[in-house]
Amino acid sequence: MSRKRILMVAPTPYFSDRGCHVQIYEVARSQQLNGNSVVIVTYHLGRDIGEIPTYRIPPVPWYRKRSAGPSWHKLYLDFLLMIRVLQVARQYKPHIIHAHLHEGAGLSIIVARMLRVPLLLDLQGSLTGEMLNHNFVRKGSIPYLLFRKLEQKIISHVDGILMWNYIKETLQKLFIFDSGKVFSVNYGVDLQSFRPHKKEDLDDLYNNLQIQRNRTIIVYLGVLSPYQGIDLLIDAIPRVLKFLPDAYFLIMGYPNEEYYRVKAHNLGVSDHVCLPGRIDYTQAARYLSLGDLAVAPKLTSMEGNGKLLNYMACALPTVAFDLPGNIATLADTGVYAVTGDVQAFADQIITLGSDPHLRSDLGRRARERAERYFSWHRIGREINDIYDVLLSRKGLN
């Protein structure tokens, strides 16, 4: 089948300028570029982005959470989303349902069966892993065991599983997968949007953020939370400043900006830290280009670390922890610290911060690696091929 109608289900306040939403958007856009028709069905919150038709559930005025993490409210939000998916599907008549996250697949099972179309689960991580990361449930508790059973049940009821290579090893150790259902692909990055920008073209950002040009700027862009390693990153700053007194940390993203401003103040490093909050995805590459190096202190391997590819595409050398997914993505273009070791992380920042030639070499090779392995154009074709396989198995190709 040449041109397909793809209905994507996004059980999240899409689009809210964070990693999960970036992945949804870029996967959808990659399919448009492959000649397919795509619509997205999602929550009432968020903004429309690009030229992808987006359908939303009715407004729920009391629910305003846009940040990452589980919520009991999602039980009824997902019920509303299931109804909306069915409404849209009856009109749109999709050839395939591409469901993001376990919740998206869970609520789409009935719809896919009714329409007799394949259901593809886009697996960004572990449902119970996310709950543990956000302290939503306690490991071994009854809610944890129930959600883990539900997670395995959803996995067993879909027609295909899109498993991103950076989390494949971790997830296959935790759950039982039918190997015939699993399709592995690399995560991608928009190489045209994410590219290095010349410093002289960033005057507006230097001025708005009040950053001096002669400082060594360390950038981070992502969710601000403990499991992302932001507490550890702030704790590392005083150690870095002992050897790099001109270092300046531009820590971009949300939520909890004020909490981390207070933490930086209490450590006496406020003059070396800027927390500007949420960054518009369309402007992210310009903000990242302010940096001399990037950091990715994420502490969990239960989900992806898509920011690494944005760093690579912007030719930024990166310090990360030695998690399997980080090493699989960065390979020899990354600089690694033992996971959870504050001093080791600080030491690697110092190593990169004090060596401009090493930074230049690693940044150049990171960009080359992104171009070679992580282009959305190439990965979009692979996902389109997966659709063809699933349709063929259903006798619909």
Could you tell me the pLDDT band of residue 49, with boundaries at 50, 70 and 90? very high
Q: What pLDDT sits at residue 11? A: 97
Could you tell me the pLDDT band of residue 276, with boundaries at 50, 70 and 90? very high
Domain with CATH 3.40.50.2000 in the chain: 5-188+375-394, 199-373
Does the structure show a pLDDT above 80 at 65? Answer: yes
CATH class (in words) of the domain with range 199-373 = alpha beta
Q: What is the pLDDT of residues 328-365, one digit of tens each?
A: 999 999 999 999 999 999 999 999 999 999 999 999 99
**Average pLDDT of span 122-149:** 90
If you write DSSP's letter for every residue of 227-260 in order, what string do you get? GGTHHHHHHHHHHHHTT-TTEEEEEE--S-HHHH
Does the structure show a pLDDT above 70 at 26? Answer: yes
Q: Are residues 301 and 170 in contact, defined by beta-carbon separation less than 8 angstroms?
A: yes
Among 65-74, 101-110, 295-304, 377-386, the minimum mean pLDDT is found in 295-304
List the structure tokens of 173. Answer: 């150790």
Q: What pLDDT sits at residue 69? A: 87
Instruction: Give the ranges where 213-355 is alpha helix by DSSP (H).
Output: 230-241, 257-266, 284-288, 307-313, 324-330, 342-353
Q: What is the pLDDT of residues 309-328, one digit of tens each?
A: 999 999 999 999 999 889 99
Q: What pLDDT sits at residue 397? A: 67
Average pLDDT, the chain: 94
Does the structure show a pLDDT above 90 at 394? Answer: no
Q: Are residues 350 and 244 in contact, defined by beta-carbon separation less than 8 angstroms?
A: yes
Q: What pLDDT sits at residue 359? A: 98
Q: Which residues, 6+ apart, have CB-to-CB distance to 351 below 8 Å?
A: 335, 358
Q: What is the pLDDT of residues 189-224, one digit of tens each?
A: 999 999 999 999 999 999 999 999 999 999 999 999
Q: What pLDDT sits at residue 35? A: 95
CATH class (in words) of the domain with range 5-188+375-394 = alpha beta
Q: What pLDDT sits at residue 118? A: 98
How large a percentage of the chain has pLDDT more than 90? Answer: 85
The helix (run of H) or strand (run of E) holding residue 155 is helix 142-157
